[in-house]
Structure 1
Amino acid sequence: MNRSRFLKSAQEPVKAILGDRLALVGLFVLLSIIAMALFAPFLSTHEPLAVNEREEGSLFMRSVDGDQVHWLASSPLGEVTLNAADYRDGLGMAVGRDGVVWRYAGDGWSPLDTPITTTLNAVNIREDGATLVAGAQGTVALWSPDDTWQTFEMPEPLSVNDIAWRDDNTALLVGGGETVWLLNLVSGEVTSLESPVGRGFELNSVALDTDGSAWLVGDRGIALRLDPQDDSLSLERLPGNRELNHIHIADSGAGLIVGERGTLLVREGAQARWQSQSAPDSRAMRAGWITDEGHAFAVGRSGIVFEREPGGEWQLVPSDEERHLRALMVTEDSFFAIGSDRFVNRLAPPSGEHWFGTDHLGRDLFSQNIHGSQIALLVGFLGAALVVLIGANVGLVAGYFRGRTETVLMRTVDVMYGIPFEPFALILVLLFEPSLFIVILAVSLLTWRTVARLIRSQVLSLRERPFVKAARVAGASDLRIMYLHIFPNVMPLVFLELAIIVGVSIIAEATLSFLGLGPPQSISWGGILHNARLSGAWRDAWWWNLPPGLLIMITVLSVFFISRSLELVANPRLRARR
């Protein structure tokens, strides 16, 4: 009989929910969020704490507004890194990873179809427009203006890093292992030149000098010079011994070499010596350019751009983005900087790849919000269960035994009402360490007080009912009367409080996490808002704040709709009206 009454009491809340449309909507939403939490690893598009990198063919253009110079980011050229670029007489070419080649003309950039799939590191345009490209695994190919390609076979599959035309039929190629090749494009014959160093250093760049010789630079500050008479190589002494990444020599003989840790070597004329100059930043520089008049430019990692007026000091020039710039391309009226390596996709707005955008560390916010539902529901349901367990038992004991027991328990409840939630949670965190257990403990130790009061008031009226007196006369123990006779009658109220406390616990966990008191290694909705506030980007990155706030609101609102229907069961007056 008691069991059937207990089951009947448990069935009433279910019937109340099924009979209320708003409660059904709330139940559907809550079940959807529970499913999202259970299947979070499968629903996430990325690892929630993984830094997401992005790759693109970054393109910057120099802009001058009065005395202000700025390098502005333009639309990227595709989604792969570009390594080198060249321009001559209205034709520009940029090459990069996976054999990508972009062509520049007066009307803008367009991709070229190529038979190449390896990474291209170098490009050089001949006077008639024929373009030689080269790259990894000894890849060398010639593009003709009639849009045809001719490939050449190299002696070894070594990486080719740079190219220089010696004449219309011969090109000089340099690369890994101190590789120096002379390629005859008519016969396809390749001649290997012996380096005087012989230590297998990487040669990164080559440039022709005004006297027909060539300068080759590379690792450890190595600098070789090619004699145009007998094609012999000699070792040259340059200031410093850091890695040299690029060399450019103007028609006037002015030269610029750039390298690691802000290395800048300048030659003011054909007969002048190379001089080391002070850089405004110590990051690696990847490409340089110097005009006939001595106006020099250098670009490198993290969007660093240097400029120098003829005979002046180098200045750091602002640029739009922190892209790793690898090449410079100078036309008759424009300066282009091209890159980049993979970079962290920071504060990206929602896109097809990241549905909720990314945070300041490039982490996917959609995946974080999906995983954040686990903490919210775990604290919500576990905290609510503990609250109801503590509050219901305290209310039962106080209402049933009354007297001194009731006085002690109710005064304890009064004391608990005087303890504010946030300072209490802060003290717990200071005494212990931030963890999920501390959050649940903070929620359960304070929130049970309301449940205890409500259950006590209900038990006070039930303990005088005839069925309780009959059970007492029949010899039933106090525990049996409380839990088998009285408790089934307060079950609707218990379910109502359980539903309400779930929402309260979710808000409490979000509040603590937002204040930085939540579990540090866990992902929660409040923690996402906390990170947005700490980053300083929360004012602009709306996609960071909006989803967790909406998810908290929707979850609590769905629980409220469910508790609203349960109130009809718990409140006799409302039940009578129904």
Structure 2
Amino acid sequence: MIGTRVLKSAQEPLRAMIGDRLSLIGVVVLLSIICMALFAPFLSTHEPLAVNEREEGSLLARSVDGERAHWVQRPALGERTLNAADYRDGVGLAVGRDGAAWRYLDGEWTELEAPLAATLIDVAIGPGGAALAVGVGGSVALLEDAAAGGEWQTLEAPVASALTGVAWLDDTTALLVGVDETILRLDTVSGEFEALESPLGRGMTLNSVALDVDGSAWLVGERGLTLRLDPEDDSLSLERMPTNRDLNHIHLADSGHGLIVGERGTLLSRSAVDDGWESQSAPDSRAMRAGWVTDEGHAFAVGRSGIVFEREADEWQLVPSEEERHLRALMVTEEGYFALGSDRFVNRLAPPSGEHWFGTDHLGRDLYSQNVHGSRIALLVGFIGAALVVLIGANVGLIAGYFRGRTETVLMRTVDVMYGIPFEPFALILVLLFEPSLLIVILAVSLLTWRTVARLIRSQVLSLRERPFVKAARVAGASDLRIMYLHIFPNVMPLVFLELAIIVGVSIIAEATLSFLGLGPPQSISWGGILHNARLSGAWRDAWWWNLPPGLFIMITVLSVFFISRSLELVANPRLRARR
């Protein structure tokens, strides 16, 4: 019986919402946001809290501004890490993950067809113009003419272990090194490999090989392992070095200058062929992956996290670079100096793109997915908070307006006291007394905002309780509860619907405010929390794609609720209907 009367009372507000154009737009928008919250896992393109990584072939070029040098970022070479590069006679080659291959000619980079599907670790261009690339799984690929391009020729190496370094001994012979102290000599004419035996024999990794001015070859690897191939008797000897750290790369200039770089900022240098290797102090302790020394002794080294060293007059300095990704190779041309590399890196503060529609935050998390999931907290607090507010406020207003007297005085003075409590300090005290949670946010919203609803319902009930139908029910012997909830409450339903719509918007703004202040539920995603993270990161001034979507979602949601409440106000206030 009561449910039937409530449904009949709800018909008029529903007709009012459908009949008003702006209200109908608000209903459609609000239903769309509700659907977005319900189907958030299906609408999200990424996990909202997952760190998204990205990979590309980073390219930096050295630039000199006045007396200071710095390395500036150039357009990336594809989406795969580049591990090595070499340049000779106007032609450069760079190779990397999954067979990535790029050619540098006349100042332009051109992507070549991948010689192999395997990751390539090193490349070298020979005196005759041929290029040789080596990689994981014993991969070996030969390009007959690096300048002309063409197809790569795949060679069958006698080992299945990774080959990590290659250097040309002459026009047709190359030396290859790798893990397990693999040392191979390749005759590119016949395609035959000759295995050389390491004098150490401990299965250590050789990382790089370089040809010296006197025709000898130097091989360096982990734990300071250094071998020298003598051109006269074709023997390998173990060389003593001033470090036991891993050595990653060696470069020897035609003038006799040499440079070896390695882990923890290891820098080994020599000035002539007959000089011994000396350790030099580095300005940073991070791993260096590649080095280069000119005929005049000007040296460069690059490594992890975009670190770039330069040496002048035997003093190494840290040079600024526009890169935080790992650099793995150096290439020196007539046009300048280039650094290449990159591993998988966090795609942080990326602007909107096809992969991330709303961009990413400072931790590389997808902001579109966060905004989609953020609608859940906003609507949950909005509707549950509004329901509690209306439940408390409507009952307090009914009781105070119907019974009057001392009951009304006590309840209304309580309402006055609640008006004197500010919202944010009250919420802060609740968070301090209890741990932050969604329940605390809902309580902070509902325990204060019911006061307005109670006053409005009370004023309406004061008028209704004197109506003839109420007096007739009282004379007929109806109880107070029956009169309040069966006869009076259906008549205040339009006002209840109006306040419910208004409080939904108020609750959403209140939740966003608390989350923006850091008082929201931890480990939960909300629109206010997204704005809070943007403020804490310090990037909110520049990353407009971080601030704009949650602000627009809050505004659109509250505005749609306002349009709905606008039509309900006509039902609750007959005077407005008369004016229209």
TM-score by length of 2: 0.98
8 Å CA contact retained: 1:258, 1:285:
yes
Q: How does 1:492-511 map to 2 (within 5 A)?
A: 492-511=494-513
For 2:197 and 2:517, locate their aligned partners in 1 and report how far apart those are by CA, in whole Å. Answer: 66
Aligned residue in 1 for 2:64: 64
8 Å CA contact retained: 2:101, 2:115:
no
Asked if residue 138 in structure 1 is aligned to residue 138 in structure 2, the reply is yes
Asked if residue 315 in structure 1 is aligned to residue 297 in structure 2, the reply is no
For 2:237 and 2:392, locate their aligned partners in 1 and report how far apart those are by CA, in whole Å. Answer: 87
Deviations 1:58-77 (A, max 9, x none): 00000011111110000000
Q: CA deviation at 1:143?
A: 0.7
8 Å CA contact retained: 1:538, 1:545:
yes
| 3-state DSSP of counterpart to 1:148 | coil
Q: How does 1:422-433 map to 2 (within 5 A)?
A: 422-433=424-435
For 1:155 and 1:43, locate their aligned partners in 2 and report how far apart those are by CA, in whole Å. Answer: 51
Q: CA deviation at 1:162?
A: 0.9
| 3-state DSSP of counterpart to 2:152 | strand
Q: CA deviation at 1:2?
A: 5.2
8 Å CA contact retained: 1:82, 1:96:
yes
For 2:548 and 2:3, locate their aligned partners in 1 and report how far apart those are by CA, in whole Å. Answer: 47
Deviations 1:215-238 (A, max 9, x none): 111111211111223332222111
Deviations 1:285-309 (A, max 9, x none): 1100011111000001111100001
The worse-fitting range, judged by mean Cα deviation, of 20-29 and 239-248 is 239-248
Deviations 1:116-162 (A, max 9, x none): 11111111001222111111111111112251322211112111111
Q: How does 1:410-559 map to 2 (within 5 A)?
A: 410-559=412-561
Q: 1:365 corresponds to which letter in structure 2?
A: L
Aligned residue in 2 for 1:117: 117
Q: CA deviation at 1:477?
A: 1.2
Counterpart pick for 1:241 among 240, 244, 251: 244
Q: 1:208 corresponds to which letter in structure 2?
A: L
8 Å CA contact retained: 2:289, 2:303:
yes
Q: How does 1:68-87 map to 2 (within 5 A)?
A: 68-87=68-87
Aligned residue in 1 for 2:169: 166
The worse-fitting range, judged by mean Cα deviation, of 413-422 and 201-210 is 201-210
8 Å CA contact retained: 2:115, 2:154:
no
Counterpart pick for 1:202 among 199, 205, 211: 205
Q: 1:472 corresponds to which letter in structure 2?
A: R
For 2:336 and 2:346, locate their aligned partners in 1 and report how far apart those are by CA, in whole Å. Answer: 28
Q: 2:356 corresponds to which letter in structure 1?
A: H
Q: 1:256 corresponds to which letter in structure 2?
A: L
Aligned residue in 2 for 1:305: 308
Deviations 1:414-440 (A, max 9, x none): 000000000111111111111111111
Aligned residue in 2 for 1:223: 226
| 3-state DSSP of counterpart to 1:292 | coil
Q: 1:432 corresponds to which letter in structure 2?
A: F
8 Å CA contact retained: 2:115, 2:151:
no
8 Å CA contact retained: 1:123, 1:133:
yes
Instruction: Check 1:386–1:3 CA distance in 2 against 1; reply closer, same or farther (3 A cut).
Output: closer
Q: 1:293 corresponds to which letter in structure 2?
A: E
Counterpart pick for 1:376 among 371, 375, 378: 378
8 Å CA contact retained: 2:115, 2:141:
no
Deviations 1:503-549 (A, max 9, x none): 00000000001011111100110011011111111111111100100
For 1:212 and 1:2, locate their aligned partners in 2 and report how far apart those are by CA, in whole Å. Answer: 102
8 Å CA contact retained: 1:16, 1:565:
yes
8 Å CA contact retained: 1:100, 1:120:
yes
8 Å CA contact retained: 2:204, 2:222:
yes
Q: CA deviation at 1:471?
A: 1.2
For 1:208 and 1:216, locate their aligned partners in 2 and report how far apart those are by CA, in whole Å. Answer: 9
Q: 2:208 corresponds to which letter in structure 1?
A: S
Q: What percentage of residue pairs aligned between the two structures are identical?
A: 80
For 2:4 and 2:260, locate their aligned partners in 1 and report how far apart those are by CA, in whole Å. Answer: 90
For 2:551 and 2:308, locate their aligned partners in 1 and report how far apart those are by CA, in whole Å. Answer: 40
Q: 1:385 corresponds to which letter in structure 2?
A: A
For 1:355 and 1:333, locate their aligned partners in 2 and report how far apart those are by CA, in whole Å. Answer: 38
Q: CA deviation at 1:472?
A: 1.2
Q: CA deviation at 1:86?
A: 0.2
Q: CA deviation at 1:208?
A: 1.2
| 3-state DSSP of counterpart to 2:86 | strand
For 1:115 and 1:67, locate their aligned partners in 2 and report how far apart those are by CA, in whole Å. Answer: 42
Asked if residue 193 in structure 1 is aligned to residue 190 in structure 2, the reply is no
For 2:493 and 2:172, locate their aligned partners in 1 and report how far apart those are by CA, in whole Å. Answer: 94
Asked if residue 283 in structure 1 is aligned to residue 262 in structure 2, the reply is no
Q: CA deviation at 1:4?
A: 4.2
Q: CA deviation at 1:332?
A: 1.7
For 2:15 and 2:179, locate their aligned partners in 1 and report how far apart those are by CA, in whole Å. Answer: 77
Q: How does 1:350-429 map to 2 (within 5 A)?
A: 350-429=352-431
Q: 1:104 corresponds to which letter in structure 2?
A: Y
For 1:114 and 1:532, locate their aligned partners in 2 and report how far apart those are by CA, in whole Å. Answer: 41
Aligned residue in 1 for 2:339: 337
Q: CA deviation at 1:574?
A: 1.6
8 Å CA contact retained: 2:107, 2:335:
no
For 1:567 and 1:437, locate their aligned partners in 2 and report how far apart those are by CA, in whole Å. Answer: 30
| 3-state DSSP of counterpart to 1:550 | helix
Q: CA deviation at 1:191?
A: 1.0
Counterpart pick for 2:276 among 266, 273, 277: 273
The worse-fitting range, judged by mean Cα deviation, of 126-135 and 351-360 is 126-135
Aligned residue in 1 for 2:568: 566
The worse-fitting range, judged by mean Cα deviation, of 503-512 and 466-475 is 466-475
Aligned residue in 2 for 1:256: 259
8 Å CA contact retained: 1:62, 1:71:
yes
8 Å CA contact retained: 1:2, 1:485:
no
For 2:519 and 2:212, locate their aligned partners in 1 and report how far apart those are by CA, in whole Å. Answer: 65
Q: CA deviation at 1:185?
A: 1.0
| 3-state DSSP of counterpart to 1:194 | coil
Counterpart pick for 2:349 among 347, 350, 354: 347
Asked if residue 43 in structure 1 is aligned to residue 50 in structure 2, the reply is no
Q: CA deviation at 1:113?
A: 1.4
Q: 2:474 corresponds to which letter in structure 1?
A: R
8 Å CA contact retained: 1:52, 1:344:
yes
For 1:392 and 1:233, locate their aligned partners in 2 and report how far apart those are by CA, in whole Å. Answer: 93
The worse-fitting range, judged by mean Cα deviation, of 5-14 and 388-397 is 5-14
- Residue correspondences, number: 577
Counterpart pick for 2:327 among 325, 328, 331: 325
Aligned residue in 1 for 2:16: 16
Q: Structure 2: state its 5+ residue gaps.
A: none
For 2:556 and 2:3, locate their aligned partners in 1 and report how far apart those are by CA, in whole Å. Answer: 36
Q: 1:552 corresponds to which letter in structure 2?
A: I
